A and B are shown apart, each in its own frame.
Chain A
Amino acid sequence: MTEYAIDYELVIRPKYGFLDLNWQELKDYRELLFFLALREIKIRYKQTIMGASWALLQPLFTMIVFTLIFSRLAQMPSDGVPYPIFSYSGLLLWTYFSNALSQSSNSLVDNASLLSKVYMPRIFMPTAPCLSGLVDYGIAMSVLVIMMVYYRFVPGISILLLPFIILLTFMLASGVGYWLSSICVKYRDVKFILPFFIQLLLFVSPVIYPANIVDENFRWLLYLNPMTGLISAHRACLLGHITVDLVGLGISALLTIVIFVSGILYLKHTEKYFADLI
């Protein structure tokens, strides 16, 4: 008979508190988070002809349509860079954010069978799609690199900010995902609001237009959307055409951290009834 480590003791009690994030447990289960993300990636493009190239076709076609409509027809200004590369550099981050957010928000309901049959840190479910989306982001990045070579753009020293911007976008998508996926367990209305919400959010993010075309007096409104600072900074650090707006990025970072932390708290607070309600 094996001798077991006896110092291990698990106590199950009714859940009242707000913050009981168990770091040790998250560390023990980290392999699972990686596997959940890997599973998302493997499943996503099964039984498709185009496979993973969908990851770049989606922003590519959107860019072409945007260029035709907003640049040719509407004569949209674009910070003095060619419109295709302007919109693609925004769409790249936007596509990651919107896909990650919508999958993350539906994750708990979509994995209902897993949720009610097996224990795992619930927070992994909405986190996994935000991780796996980074692979798509990487694939779609290749098109931007080609465009940068074509239009002769060289990123400056501010490219060092890129990992930080990606991390913030990941945190933002996860943070909103924690909120919405938890709410969706109780109220399925989220499923219907979400696509509409994401669509509207695109129009108040500087993907199609640069942030500076908005009147000075109202620009702060635009910055209430944390994606504003992130998309502007993402574009500026990649293309190096203007200096990165550090104030805007700072506002976004602050909002993102608030959403991320409050999202974790909300999910941890509500997870006690997930299995009973789903």
Chain B
Amino acid sequence: MTTLKKNEPIIEVKHLSKKYSIGVDKTYKTLCNSFAYAAKNPLKMLKGSFEPNNTFWALKDVNFEIKRGEVVGIIGRNGAGKSTLLKVLSRITYPTEGEVRMRGRVGSLLEVGTGFHPELSGRENIYFNGVILGMKKREIEEKFDEIVNFSGIEKFLDTPVKRYSSGMSVRLAFSVAAHLDPEILIVDEVLAVGDTTFQKKCLGKMEEVAEGGRTVLFVSHNMSVISSLCETAILLEKGILKERSQTGKVIDVYLNSGQEATGQIIFSEKHPGDNEAILLAARILNKDGRPITEARIDEDIFIEMEYELLKNGLRAYPNFHIHDSYGQIVLITSDSKLDYRSELKNKAGIYVSRCKIPANTLNSNTYYIMFVLTDVYPFRVHFSEKDLLFVTVTDPIEGILSRPEGYSGSIPGAVRPLLEWDLYNCINN
């Protein structure tokens, strides 16, 4: 008897847990090691406790339900269990405990271009990739022209993919994936590749899929994408479901949680760096010198690095690289007052370099800061630490100079500086 129960959740996750063991050789074992282990620990072997007891729970007692047609964002820091959750839902790996019920066909897209073979032509890869992602041959034939048009590589359809530029193969791969048409679509952060225009096109396609009544689970580090695509979201933290509610609320909890969100990192044991210079601390501060992770768009932001030069005579240039959540560089800044063309050289010792980003420079986005120390003559990099800290610039809308009076919509752009404008009235009535 097949009755249509609309209000039954399409995905039900109950007490889902996944345990991984982290042995010495995580990647693979050799027969010899196993024998050696058995010989050294015959008692353990007999007791059956052969598995190393170094285990960790990538997911621990996760429970949630997803309604038909819901578009859900999954957020969390690296290692929070997002990918593991997607892998369990896509049946790539099995859970250790608990169960999942899915009442619809699942298509998952954990990587762009899975199964692409460099020796095969674009045309052949469309077919193979489509079938691997779960499409039927007939389905691919129907959508073939659409896929080719979307990718924009008509001319190279019969060229082996190994001759493609990386951008082209990503576009082709995504075009195939974008035409997947399952009832439940599971998407990992696959949009972080390709050029921005194509990314936009993909996001558009995703929105189309979501509006078409599909159920979508979407992982991303990009909060603006999550908030524009998803009505509700799930926050994972160290394998535990921390929050499950409206997207805005979940993002708030996410941004205000975790130890990384303190606005500073002090390296006490392992210092990034080489034998000439090391990084001691990284900070993002407000004008009062307090570490922050969030700043209003009309506030000054200070980025600071504390580093130690271990020998005399270096010509060290501290610089900050600011990335957006797509991983694109927004800007790179370094201290223009340092002039090493002269004979000026650093003495060994501890230094602090601070850079002020004036109010009304950045847009309302999350920015990730890379801390770099380079040297000139000869050029070398002492350390280069990506995404050490982030700062989320907020736009309270009311009373913001870089926003037209009365307009409350979003203002796209990597930066939103206040520039000088003039208005001339040329024709008098």
Q: Are B20 and A276 in contact (CB under 8 A)?
A: yes
Binds B, one of A11-19, A69-77, A132-140, A258-266: A11-19
Given A12-B94, A46-B119, A114-B115 in contact, is the A39-B128 Cβ separation under 8 Å?
A: yes
Contacts A118-B133, A275-B93, A277-B28 given; indicate if A10 touches B101 (C-beta within 8 A).
yes
Which of A154-162, A186-194, A210-218, A235-243 is near enough to bind chain B? A186-194
B interface: dominant SS: loop
A150 at the interface (CB under 8 A from B): no
The answer on a CB contact under 8 Å between A114 and B101 is: no
B101 CB contacts on chain A under 8 angstroms: 9-12
A2 x B32 contact (CB < 8 A): no
Residue of A nearest to B93 (CB): A275
- How distant is A145 from chain B, measured CB to nearest CB, in Å? 31
Q: Are B99 and A186 in contact (CB under 8 A)?
A: no
> How far is it, in angstroms, between the C-alpha of A32 and the C-alpha of B137 when the chains are bound?
9
Query: Does A31 lie within 8 Å of B131, measured CB to CB?
Result: yes
Contact of A12 with B89 at beta-carbon distance under 8 Å, contacts A6-B103, A35-B131, A118-B132 already known: yes
Structural contact, B105 and A6, CB atoms closer than 8 A: no
C-alpha gap A260/B105 in the complex (Å): 31
Would you call B94 and A117 a contact (CB within 8 A)? no
Minimum CB–CB distance from B199 to chain A (whole Å) comes to 20
Interface string of A86-130 (1 = CB under 8 A from B): 000000000000000000000000000111111110000000000
List chain A residues, Cβ under 8 A from B160. 46
Measured in the bound complex, the distance between the Cα atoms of B110 and A272 in whole Å is: 19
Scan residues 184-213 of chain A and give those whose CB is less than 8 A from a CB of chain B.
185-189
Across the interface, which residues of B come within 8 angstroms of A119, CB to CB? 90-92, 108
B67-103 residues at the A interface, CB under 8 angstroms: 69, 87-103
Collect the chain B residues with CB atoms within 8 Å of residue A189's CB.
30-32
A8 CB-CB contact with B under 8 Å: yes
Q: When A32-B132, A118-B133, A275-B92 are in contact, do A8 and B105 touch as well, CB less than 8 Å?
A: yes
Given A5-B2, A39-B120, A39-B128, the answer on whether A14 and B92 have CB atoms closer than 8 Å is no
Which of the residues A8, A14, A46, A116 comes within 8 Å of B94, measured between beta carbons?
A: A14
Q: What is the minimal beta-carbon distance from B132 to any residue of chain A, in angstroms? A: 6
Partner of B95, one of A1, A12, A186, A275: A12
Verify B88–A12 contact, CB threshold 8 A: yes
Q: Which residues of A contact B4 (CB under 8 A)?
A: 3, 6
Query: Which residues of chain B have C-beta atoms less than 8 A from A4's C-beta?
Result: 104, 183
Which residues of B are found within 8 Å of A39, using beta-carbon distances?
117, 120, 128
Known: A42-B120, A113-B114. A35 touches B128 (CB 8 A): yes
Pair B213/A1 contact, Cβ less than 8 Å: yes
Chain B neighbourhood of A186, CB < 8 A: 28-29
B326 at interface, CB cutoff 8 A: no
Chain B residues with CB below 8 A from A43, complex form: 117, 119-120
The reply to whether A14 and B96 contact each other, CB–CB distance below 8 Å, is yes
Q: A10-B103, A11-B102, A272-B94 are in contact. List 18 more A-B contacts (CB 8 A).
A: A6-B8, A8-B103, A8-B104, A9-B101, A10-B102, A12-B101, A31-B137, A35-B127, A39-B128, A42-B120, A46-B120, A114-B115, A116-B92, A119-B90, A185-B28, A189-B30, A189-B32, A277-B28
A-B contact pairs, 11 of them (CB 8 A): A4-B183, A6-B5, A35-B137, A42-B119, A114-B114, A118-B114, A119-B108, A186-B28, A187-B31, A187-B34, A189-B32
